[in-house]
Amino acid sequence: MHITSDIRYVGVNDHKLDLFEGQYIVPNGMAYNSYLIMDEKIAVMDSVDAGFTGEWLANLRAELGERPVDYLIVQHMEPDHSGSLSAFMAAYPQAVVVASAKAFSMMKAFFGEEYEDRRRIVKESDKLALGRHTLSFVAAPMVHWPEVIMTYDETDKVFFSADAFGKFGALDVEEEWACEARRYYFGIVSKYGTQVQALLKKAQKLDISIICPLHGPVLSENLGEYLHLYDVWSGYGAESEGIAIACASIYGHTMKAAALLADELKKRGCKKVSLIDLARCDMAEAVEDAFRYDRLVLASATYNGDVFPFMRTFIDHLTERNYQNRTVGLMENGSWAPNAAKVMRTMLDKQKNLTFTETTVKITSALSDDSRTQICAMADELMK
Shortest Å, Cβ 114 to ligand FEO: 20
Shortest Å, Cβ 117 to ligand FEO: 27
- Please give the Cα distance from 361 to 343 (Å, whole number): 14
Contact 49, 83 (CB under 8 A): yes
Nearer to ligand FEO by Cβ, of 125 and 194: the residue is: 194
Nearer to ligand FEO by Cβ, of 81 and 326: the residue is: 81
Which of 13, 54, 51 is CA-nearest to residue 32? 13
71 bridge partner residues? 43, 96
* Helix, strand, coil in percent for the chain, rounding step 5: 35, 25, 40
Nearer to ligand FEO by Cβ, of 8 and 81: the residue is: 81
Contact 318, 286 (CB under 8 A): no
Burial (CB < 10 A; 0-12, 13-18, 19+), residue 198, is middle
Contact 135, 71 (CB under 8 A): no
Nearer to ligand FEO by Cβ, of 18 and 358: the residue is: 18
Q: Which of 8, 76, 119, 253 binds ligand FEO (CB under 6 A)?
A: 76
Q: Among the candidate windows 77-85, 117-125, 128-136, 242-250, which touches ligand FEO by CB under 6 A? A: 77-85
- Please give the Cα distance from 286 to 266 (Å, whole number): 20
Q: Among the candidate windows 72-80, 127-135, 279-287, 356-364, which touches ligand FEO by CB under 6 A? A: 72-80
- In 65-125, beta strands by DSSP E: 71-73, 96-99, 119-121
Nearer to ligand FEO by Cβ, of 78 and 288: the residue is: 78
Shortest Å, Cβ 38 to ligand FEO: 24
Q: Which of 215, 312, 321, 326 binds ligand FEO (CB under 6 A)?
A: 215
The number of residues that bind ligand FEO (CB under 6 A) is: 8
Q: Which of 39, 78, 264, 285 binds ligand FEO (CB under 6 A)?
A: 78
Q: Quick one: how far is CA 179 from the chain centroid?
A: 11
Taking CB positions, which residue lies at the least distance from ligand FEO?
78
- In 38-129, beta strands by DSSP E: 43-45, 71-73, 96-99, 119-121, 127-129
Shortest Å, Cβ 21 to ligand FEO: 7
Give DSSP secondary structure letters for 169-230.
B-TTS---HHHHHHHHIIIIIGGGHHHHHHHHHHHHTS--SEEE-SSS--B-S-HHHHHHHH
Query: Does residue 119 touch ligand FEO according to CB under 6 A?
Result: no
Q: Which of 8, 49, 59, 81 binds ligand FEO (CB under 6 A)?
A: 81
Shortest Å, Cβ 310 to ligand FEO: 27
Q: Quick one: how far is CA 384 from the chain centroid?
A: 32
Q: Which of 97, 181, 214, 286 binds ligand FEO (CB under 6 A)?
A: 214
Nearer to ligand FEO by Cβ, of 163 and 288: the residue is: 163
Query: Does residue 80 touch ligand FEO according to CB under 6 A?
Result: yes
Residues from 156 through 185 that contact ligand FEO (CB under 6 A): 163
Torsion of the alpha carbons at 100, 181, 295 and 224, rounded to the nearest 10? 80
* Footprint of ligand FEO (CB under 6 A): 76, 78, 80-81, 144, 163, 214-215
